[in-house]
Structure 1
Amino acid sequence: MRLTSATAPFTDDAPTIQLATASKDPGPRPDGSRTPPRHRRGGARPGHWRPDIEGLRALAVGAVIAAHIGFFHSEGGFVGVDVFFVISGFLITSLLLRELDKTDTISLTGFYARRAVRLLPAASIVLAATLAAAWLWLPRTRLESIAIDAAAAALNVVNLRLAREGTDYLNADAAPSPLQHFWSLAVEEQFYLLWPLMLLAIAMAARPLWGGHFASAGHLARRRTAAVAVVLVCIGAASFFLSATRSGPDPIWSYFGIHTRAWELAAGAVVAIAAGRLKRLPSWAAAPLSWAGLVLVVASVFLIDERTTFPGTAAVLPVAGTALVIAAGCAPHRFGATMLLGLAPAQYVGKISYGLYLWHWPLVMIGPAMLGIAEPRLRDYLVLMAAAFLLAVATFHLVENPIRMRRALVQVPSRALAMGGGLIAAALALSILASLQPMPTASNEEATDITAGDATVWELLEESSDVDTVPANLTPPLAEARLDQPVLYDDGCVVERHDLAVPEHCWYGDPDGGKTVVLFGDSHAAQWFPAVDQIAEASGWRLLVMTKAACSVPDVREYDPKILREYTECPEWKDGVYDLLDEIEPDAVVAATFDRKEVLADDPDQAWIDGWVDSVERLQESAGEVYYLADNPDLGHDVPECLAANPEDASSCVGDLAESVIEPERRQAVLEAVAETGAHVVDPVPWICDVDGGTCPGIVGNLLVYRDSNHLTATFIAALALQLAAAVPLEPASSQ
């Protein structure tokens, strides 16, 4: 389920889509004739009720919700965001162009005041309610991050934050934010920040170019509209090119960024510009066009899924479908898609859909915890969505409509802007307050203090599964657990997914060492750096780190759910690493990989086994000794979050060893196959789990073992240096 797909679909200025604003008739002349209104262009802009657009809103928000709750085969429901972008581009551009036609200018204060009155009250209530719910029901370890999301949402930059966080490999195991659905509102607001300014600039340039003393108002308006169309086409073409070419290599930024979404808003804007011509479509053509558009939108929900490169070219399907429905609706016709989209239930859902959108995602993410449901099912989500519907109804009738219809705000833009600024300031204040909330503690008792390389960790392992309370001297503290990582990340020695460069600066250990050991693999190799570095430095060896995010050591084809495609950069990068190893001829290589990978093969398990053998044999061509460091258990739940939620019952966060070892039969087969190559096999499970008791504790002494569900903390790894030194003996270089 793509959890990053929702939108803020309602940025028009009225409770209905009432767009008629033709110039008033100035009345009869003294001679009885009538003066035509100044460049009457009402027919060129949408000026009638559009139930088809209201119905499209209902369809779009319904598709998004269906995808988020896992409603049958609706994985592609995230395309609702694209429907909303086209609608918003059409409506806002129509409003701005009508204002230009009527006044030859655009009131920026009026425009942004309407945005504030329309969007901020409901959004602010949802932000405040979500922060409160997160404080009450979510693990305290998540509150600071959610508070930052709230601040970013209030400032309309949450899409940039989500893009940056989404590309951070350390956050791969983090749960989605209950506020990440604000990303599309941020995209729209960023577009609206620039689009009125561009239209105003075009209008100002048009006057001296085409508005001479003898030029008619109609001539100026036509030239100005043509200029706007040219700018839109250029923006749309550039954005579509970026969407088509960057969505594959850079899926996170492409999904959240305005640079790959602007063409969707531009598509709606182009329809707004062409509305005057589109209204002359014959009804026999308009009706089937509207049905064709609706079919494209509905089909995209079922044809597009999580593995589709998106937005890319795939977004053409919902965007073109939405544009067709809106374009066809500019012309009067019968028996079109409005027969369905105009039904009363769809009209009402469309009317309240802004609030429905705002409320649904926090309930999806926090609702199960509120109800005490560990593993929610579809029926549970349906109950939560019923609650979201009721909240949306209340928000519409008690907040949205009363505020945006209040004359004191509508007629005085400065008051509306002041209200908007106050709401943003209040949201920021609540975010700061939430981020300062302390982590809950069970007692002031301290556990046995364990230092790096201390054998005590081994001695305390057996009794650690029975620890009841989180110790006051827990290291690292729960609030800092996710940051307890090797320095490799700050040094740029864990190569990002799309980077093919082989770093040659990642030398550690003893810089003057006479021998070289290489740490090779993905983040599950990088996590062992604190212990390997200790051993190398103590033994007088140089340590070279070659690690890449999510890049498996075994020679296999793998699908990466983060980039939604085959991870082709991994084998390319490893080829460069092998070339470097051939050059330096290391004395030893320590290789490790996360075992939970999706292998693209007819027999994935056998391909994984064979891939390990092939890679180990390739390493043996360059290195003196090869050590296969098997993977650690994956507890299946975020340990710091669990401990924060259960500070007086730490034993509830203990993992079951039998359930935590990933693919145990395949793992054993790899151990045996690699051993047959002559490489050294190291199994760290007995250092981390109580093998006899069959448990994997989250706390040993005063040390936090895991920083998420499967990565060990750097502090705990450092304490395992003695165990690792016995398994990977680096003979002191001075004795050679």
Structure 2
Amino acid sequence: MLWSAFVPETDPPIPIKAGPARPATSCPVNPAETEHMRLTNAEPTATPSGGAPIREPAGAPAPRDQAPSARPSHWRPDIEGLRALAVGAVIAAHIGFFHSEGGFIGVDVFFVISGFLITSLLLREIDRTGRVSIAGFYARRAVRLLPAATVVLAATLAAAWAWLPRTRLPDIATDAAAAALNVLNIRLAREDTDYLNADATPSPLQHFWSLAVEEQFYLAWPLLLLAIALAARRIWGGRFARAGHLRRRRTAAIAVVLAAIGIASFWCSVTRSGPDPTWSYFGIHTRAWELAAGAGVALAAGRLRRLPARAAAPLSWAGLGLIAASLAVIDERTTFPGAAAALPVAGTALVIAAGCAPHRFGATALLGIAPAQYIGKLSYGLYLWHWPLLMIGPAALGIDHPRLRDRLMLMAAAFLLSVATFHLVEHPIRTRRALVRVPSRALAMGGGLITAALAMSILASLQPMPAATQEEAAEVTGNDATVWELLDDSSDVDTVPANLTPSLEDAELDTPASYDDGCQVGRDDSEVNEDCWYGDPDGERTVVLFGDSHAAQWFPALNQNAEAAGWRLLVMTKSNCSVPQVATYDPYLKREYTECAVWKDGVYELLDEVRPDAVVAAAYDRKEILADDPQRAWVEGWAESVERLGETGADVYYLADTPDAGFNVPECLASNPRDASECVGDLDEAVVDPARREATVEAVTAAGATAVDPIPWICDTDGGACPVIVGDLLVYRDANHLSARFVAELAPQLAAAIPLDPEAQ
């Protein structure tokens, strides 16, 4: 799963003052030094609280006039080159370029850069004025980030409306609102840990998550620095304080706070990335230490500037080597961020730290080349544009399965859009004097842009679903027309009926009632929920539904049959947790699914106490098996599980897996409302590994289970097709789960295959 992004070029502005020439690698640390340098090529905007221009101390040289586009003499080409390296790594990973799986570490490179640059600006302001202008800080952020981001949000919403299935528009609109409010990382963490969204297509706006992390960090960091600065002045200031005493004490206090933040966040990253990978990947709590690492370099800049050249140059190459090594050794299976993130973070910090000291023959020789400098300048726009183009571009071009050359073409378009955005939006706005010199105007502009983005999101979410016809299909009731009777003719359905149930808009929410009751255990939970009883509460016999979400999908039919027969139904299901006794890899946890094994052990202990009369076991066949011979391990694992279930005294039923559509069916129908047959699947392609399926049936039968094949209830076996609409029923709610409404109509078929005898009470 590619969840990587980057932090853009940070705050534009501080005035450049005349002074003695210094090497291009100098690093600001005190009032005398910081006034000779800035870290971006944008027009100055730093102002104290209240928005009035900064008054220079008596005797200070007058500000030097400089064109907004001119590059300052103390430019950091190594940082600009690092930006190019980071955004290039991210894009390479996203397009599937050769050996670029670890490119998502570009986000970590940018976090360190951001921490360094912004903290340098804040420390400089504290040294000049003794405080931090909170209004000025957020005004600079608004001017730098919001214009381009709003343009991309608007363009993405418009493109999604034009070319993506309409079923996706409400979610994308919500993502746009979350991006505008800088909480998209929280939304993505919540959605990705939700079993209802396990098969969801990535959002074209999900790359905004890292911007949200950065802004959340900067909600607190300037306020902390301001509090420390004011407290330090009160405690250690005064007219009789020794020269430099206040600055040293203030720096020490900042260092203590920064170390506390970094250590706590790094501890969370190391300890939580394994058990809670999604929240750890997107969360500020496990990423703050990366920004703190950059801030630490800024705080130590005075000492770093005194590094001898013979040490600085090798350190910069060593840092670049660590970044390159992280690209080589980290991939999607790496527990991340965790301790692994220390590799790119340390590498980036070393490059930046070494660049604070004057030296020759360092990594700037590579990072400072003209192409890297230009890409670094465009890095923010490149990042903003590349992901929406990758997610929407193929649909706009009519490409079902984009190849590398197609993605490279889309990245060329992203480059052109980035150039246009920089010259037409970013640079003109961030250098406009009416905005950059008066924070209130910049903040008003930022508020207006956020409001506009929210308004566009609301408008997009209200767009109606396109209707192909007003005609209604025959209603499937189980009495007048059964699924069985309509199935053979359902592959030829031309249009989506007006009375489709569930509707395309509500398809993903059409889940079994056991989900709402908390009886579908989440991935990161290994506790057994013993309160999941359904059916006839007064029944004397018990049937158990056991397995993963492909077992849970049978709840509506099995619950009907249990109620009719007077049996109790105990639901024991867990997301992605297969029944076979075999180790599996979970792509969302990005590691072995140990919670599944622990949970199954708990289920077996409970069943030993319950002593059920029947167990219905089912599981999704598409699993990544951790074994030398995955096929054999899967088959033997099923047989072992059947034997273990048989030890409870129950009759065991193996309910074979349902056909896999291989694509999101509601989205396909939304894109083809007048030609629903385009979404009909081929039976041979819908069965996951037919040979293994047949071997599993033989193994579980030999182990004492009754094998049940549901494919004839769902697909036209004579015609070799699996319809997606039967009568007025939508068959699939996503790519591989049957809709609850459709399964409810299969109760008669399930009752015939798995009889719950009411006379056996």
Query: What TM-score comes out, normalization by structure 1 length?
Result: 0.96
Q: Which residue of 2 aligns with 1:10?
A: 9
Say yes or no: does 1:536 pair with 2:562: yes
Counterpart of 1:257 (choices 261, 283, 291) is 283
Task: Give the counterpart of 1:605 among 621, 626, 631.
Answer: 631
Find the aligned partners of 1:727 and 1:161 in 2 and give their Cα distance: 42
In structure 1, give the amino acid aligned to 2:668.
Answer: C
Deviation at 1:596, TM superposition (A): 0.2
**2:727 paired with 1:728:** no
Cα distance per residue 1:125-166 (max 9 Å; x no partner): 000000000000001110000000000000000000000001
Q: 1:454–1:719: 8 Å Cα contact kept in structure 2?
A: no
Instruction: Identify the residue that residue 743 of structure 2 maps to in structure 1.
Output: 717
C-alpha change, 1:410 and 1:20, in structure 2 (3 Å) is farther
Partner residue, 2:41: none
- Residue 116 (structure 1) shift: 0.3
1:587 aligned residue (592, 608, 613): 613
Task: Say whether the 8 Å CA contact 1:239–1:259 is kept in structure 2.
Answer: yes
2:682 equivalent among 653, 656, 660: 656
Q: Distance in 2 between matches of 1:366 and 1:471?
A: 27
Contact 1:589 1:623 in 2 (8 A): no
Please give the alpha-carbon distance, in whole angstroms, between the structure 1 residues aligned to 2:410 and 2:305: 42
| Aligned mates of 1:21, 1:648 — CA distance in 2 | 67
> Quick check: 2:642–2:704 contact (8 Å CA) kept in 1?
no
| Residue in structure 2 matched with residue 468 of structure 1 by the alignment | 494
Q: Tell me how far apart the structure 2 counterparts of residues 236 and 702 of structure 1 sit (CA, whole Å).
A: 57
Q: Which residue does the alignment assign to 2:213?
A: 187
Equivalent residue in structure 1 for 2:535, among 474, 498, 509: 509
Structure-1 residue corresponding to 2:397: 371
1:636-666 alpha-carbon deviations (Å, 9 max, x no partner)? 1110000000000000000000011001000
1:685 and 2:711 correspond: yes
Compute the displacement of 1:206 (Å).
1.0
- Which residue identity lines up with residue 464 of structure 2 in the other structure? P
Distance across 2 between alignment mates of 1:103 and 1:212: 15
Q: 1:419 & 1:21 partners in 2: Cα distance?
A: 32
Question: Whole-Å Cα distance in 2 between the matches of residues 713 and 472 of structure 1?
Answer: 17
Matched letter for residue 530 of structure 1: P
Corresponding residue for residue 38 of structure 2 = none
**1:564-609 deviation line (CA, Å, top 9, x unaligned):** 1000111111111001000010011100000000111111001000
Match of 2:449 in 1: 423
The letter for the 1-side match of 2:111 is F
**In the alignment, is the contact (CA less than 8 A) between 2:315 and 2:354 conserved in 1?**
yes
State the shift of 1:207 in Å: 1.9
For structure 2, which runs of at least 5 residues remain unmatched after alignment?
17-23, 34-56, 62-71
The question of whether the paired residues in 1 share the 8 Å contact of 2:185 and 2:213 is answered with: yes
Report 1:24-103 matches (<5 A).
Answer: 48-103=74-129
Secondary structure of 1:590's counterpart equals: strand
Structure 2 CA distance, aligned partners of 1:567 and 1:305? 18
Structure 1 residue 110: deviation in Å? 0.5
Task: State the alpha-carbon separation in 2 of the partners of residues 88 and 65 from structure 1.
Answer: 19
**2:164 is the counterpart of 1:145:** no
Q: Which amino acid aligns with 2:693?
A: R
Q: Structure 2 vs 1, CA of residues 559 and 453 (structure 1 numbering), >3 Å: closer, same or farther?
A: farther
Letter in 2 for 1:608: W
Amino acid at match of 1:132: A
- What's the CA shift for 1:217? 5.0
1:41 maps to none
Partners of 1:279 and 1:330 within 8 A in 2: yes
The match for 1:281 is: 307
Q: Which runs of 4+ in 1 moved over 2 A?
A: 14-25, 34-38, 451-455
Query: Of residues 582, 587, 599 in structure 2, which corresponds to 1:561?
Result: 587
Q: Report if the CA contact (8 A) 1:454-1:722 is conserved.
A: no
TM-score, with structure 2 as normaliser: 0.93
Contact 1:52–1:342 (8 Å) recurs in 2: yes
Question: 1:36 and 1:714 mapped to 2: Cα distance?
Answer: 78
The residue aligned with 1:201 is 227
Give 1:147-296 correspondences, 5 Å limit.
147-216=173-242, 218-296=244-322
Matched with 1:349 is 375
The residue that corresponds to 1:524 in the other structure is 550
Letter in 2 for 1:424: I
Contact 2:78 2:367 in 1 (8 A): yes
Does the CA-based 8 Å contact 2:579-2:638 persist in structure 1?
yes
Larger displacement relative to structure 2 (212-221 or 386-395): 212-221
- Quick one: which amino acid aligns to residue 647 of structure 1? P
Which residue number corresponds to residue 699 of structure 1? 725
Deviation at 1:213, TM superposition (A): 3.8
Aligned partner of 2:432 in structure 1 is 406
In the TM superposition, what whole-angstrom CA distance separates every residue of 1:339-376 from its partner, at most 9, and x where no partner exists? 01000110010001100110000001111111111110
Compute the displacement of 1:451 (Å).
2.4
Gaps of 5+ in 1: 26-33, 39-45
Q: Which residue of 1 aligns with 2:21?
A: none
Q: Deviations over 1:401-420 (max 9, x none)?
A: 10010111011111110100
Q: CA deviation at 1:23?
A: 4.7
Please report how far the alpha carbon of residue 676 of structure 1 lies from its aligned counterpart in structure 2 after TM superposition: 1.5
The answer to whether the 8 Å contact 2:665/2:732 transfers is yes
| Contact 1:453-1:722 within 8 A present in 2 as well | no
Give per-residue Cα distances to partners, 1:706-731, cap 9 Å, x unaligned.
01110000000001000000011001
Shift of 1:679: 1.2
Q: Using the alignment, how far apart are the partners of 1:562 and 1:295 within structure 2?
A: 30
SS, match of residue 479 in structure 1: coil
Shift of 1:519: 0.4
